[in-house]
Amino acid sequence: MADSLTLSITLLGAGQEVGRSCCVLQYRGKTIVCDVGVHPAYSGIASLPFIDELDWSTVDAILITHFHDDHTAALAYVAEKTNFRDGKGKVYMTHSTKALYKLMMQDFVRMSSSSSDALFSPLDMTMCHSSIVPVSVHQLISPCPGVSFTPYNAGHVLGACMFLINIAGLHILYTGDYSREEDRHLVKAELPPIRPDVLIVESTFGVQSHESRGARELRFTNLVHAIIHRGGHVLLPTLALGRAQELLLILDEYWEKHPDLDNVPIYYASGLARKSMAVYQTYIHTMNSHIRSRFANKDNPFVFKHISNLPQSRGCEKKIAEGPPCVVLASPGFMQAGTSRELFELWAPDSRNGLIITGFSIEGTLSRDIINEPDDFMSLKGHTIQRKISVDYIPFSAHVDFTQNCEFIEQVKAQHVVLVHGEQTAVGRLRAALSSRYKDRDEDVEIHMPRNCETLQLSFRAERVAKAIGTLADKISQSNDAISGLLVSNDYSYTLLDPRDLRDHTGLSSCTIRQKQKIVLHVGWELVHWHLEGMFGSVEDFIDPAGMPTMRVMGVLDVKHTQEHELTLEWGASDGNDAIADSTLALITWIDASSASSGLSTTDSRTKPLPYACGHHPHCDNDSDVSHIQAIAMFLEAHFDDVELHMPEEIEDTRVRCESSTSSALLVRLDDAIAEIDLLTLAVNSSNAVFKQRVTTILDMAVSTVTSLAKSCCSCGT
């Protein structure tokens, strides 16, 4: 059995843009939200996803892929400022993501506490964090009936995962930000073992392809070394957590190999990063084999030999800016404010200094604007600053490039690919490139690139398949074999099992409900018997333990003659048995209401035998003749207004406009027309020739039908 079902995908953020990731999945009455972030280029309410487009009380689960602000920073607002708490939905993220999310949000609240457009308070953040459910990679979670999900490693940053979501049998893979390249401390993104129906994948770099990792590291360290040798300062704006740890590992190793740089300090300008080191050391087991092996040998890779934290004293930035050459990793990565912005404004007028952009820069941020190397820029205080500092872009962003993304998409083999988390031009080019690749291979894969608040609807044919388990599965069935058992539905999956296995496999037990229905009857038992045989075929006759005459219909319904003018119907309740009982009850009620039945059931010995009664079988006696007359009368009654049985003396007194008869007869009326049927010869007499012909035709049909039924129950067959 197949149904046409529709999956609705609505992006409340990250639709043809990078930032405020928020993807809503709705299918078969279930609602799942993946990520709830802010847009780094905006502040306050303007940075939020379009949350008014969704009734958050209907959300069954919110899944967070990783701790970056553009994927998590709106979570506390949604959890505490909307009606999300009115529903039963919960928030899920990995253990390490939950630990780092707390640090990130404390820093986020601190940075926005002085702002009049702060999104939420420290208390809101604390309440939200306490309600988060931590999960492990590869753990199967079922947040509600019909929905389950499994996290898989996504690379990118510590704790990042992609979610394989199952909603009523439909599989959706949501990647979030992911990397297919193992770096110095993280494993690369995994390929889930199940082929999903829909792949929702990031498109950050569009059709750009990166140079090899070795080439990037060499170019990066050479550039840093060159800037220092010319007497300049090196500014590396970076997110506090994520790529910063990767760059620190690279720089610490490079300084170890170059003793001439021992007197050049490397500063990590982030109190948040300092706090996060404990989390990184706690979750060493989630990192790659290189880091794990070093840690096993008592060599903690995150205890750096050549890197120190930037002092937190007032005016420290200016003091370092005017001091000897150094390297500073400073947040935020987009240089909108904070330490990275302050140092950039101080170092920008000096051509000896160098700025190296190492991550993806979101449109609308200073880091994106400065890549184009403008001659000047506007400071936070509103005055113009000349730019002479060198600007270089070496992407260490842990996002897949075009080659890696295409390879992953092709390996996943989803029927539908939805491109998110990419700017309009980049996403458009990626879609065109993917469509061309699939067209050349003649593969039927649909590529989508929805905008924010645009609902993408995908239709699927959902096949309902029941799996036989328990005793039913012991026997190997052949094609077209009929299997009988109990059909059990659980979370949109179906199993078929033997009733005896019900308790073992489901914890349920079965019971039988016996139903009884009494009915008053004014016709004979034999007439009821004849009609039941005509309707259902063979009827089993027996005397029950209480001594009551009983007829068993279809092997499931007992009709008992409990008292004079009373029948009792008994059966085991089920859909099929109830239908048989209903039809039997309707038939008996019709027999009792029929005027022909009432007359014929009281016929005495004056009734003559029909010419087709065999007279040989012991059961083919006058009672059978009466049943035959009754059957013919009912057949005629179905076609005419009135059918009556009359004896010879009764016929002489009627207003019959035909020759009088000395035998029993049936009188048939329709409006003003009357016809007489002689029950001995079956001759039809009527003064109305047209009506006579019509009655003759119907009578022939009745006799033919009743005769065939009589032969089926008469062993002599004559």
Residues acting as catalytic residues: 399
Q: List the alpha helices (DSSP H) in 313-423.
A: 316-321, 338-347, 366-370, 402-412
Q: Output helix, strand, coil percentages for the chain, rounded to the nearest 5.
A: 35, 25, 40
Cα separation, 261 vs 424, in Å, equals: 43
Candidates 304, 356, 365, 362; CA nearest to 335 is 365
**Is residue 115 left, alpha or beta, with left meaning phi > 0 and alpha meaning psi from -120 to 50?**
beta
> What's the number of CA atoms in the CB half-sphere (13 Å) around residue 319?
7
Q: Which whole-number Å values give the CA distances from 437 to 167, 269, 406, 428, 432, in the listed order? A: 30, 45, 9, 14, 9
- What beta strand segments (E) does 250-375 contain? 266-269, 307-309, 327-330, 354-357
Angle between helices 622-637 and 525-536 (to 10 degrees): 60
> Does the N-terminal peptide bond of residue 259 adopt cis geometry, omega within 30 degrees of 0?
no
Q: What one-character DSSP code corresponds to residue 42? A: S
Instruction: Give the largest CA-CA distance in the chain.
Output: 139
DSSP count for the chain of H helices, then E strands: 21, 34
- The radius of gyration of the chain from alpha carbons, rounded to an integer in Å, stands at 43
Note whether 352 and 232 are within 8 A (CB): yes
Cα separation, 325 vs 407, in Å, equals: 43
CB proximity list for 251: less than 8 A, separation 6 or greater: 221, 224, 266, 306, 307, 327
CB proximity list for 153: less than 8 A, separation 6 or greater: 137, 160, 161, 162, 187, 188, 189, 190
Q: At 338, list the tokens.
A: 């904070």
Cα separation, 327 vs 692, in Å, equals: 117
Angle at 520 between CA 517 and CA 522, to 5 degrees: 145
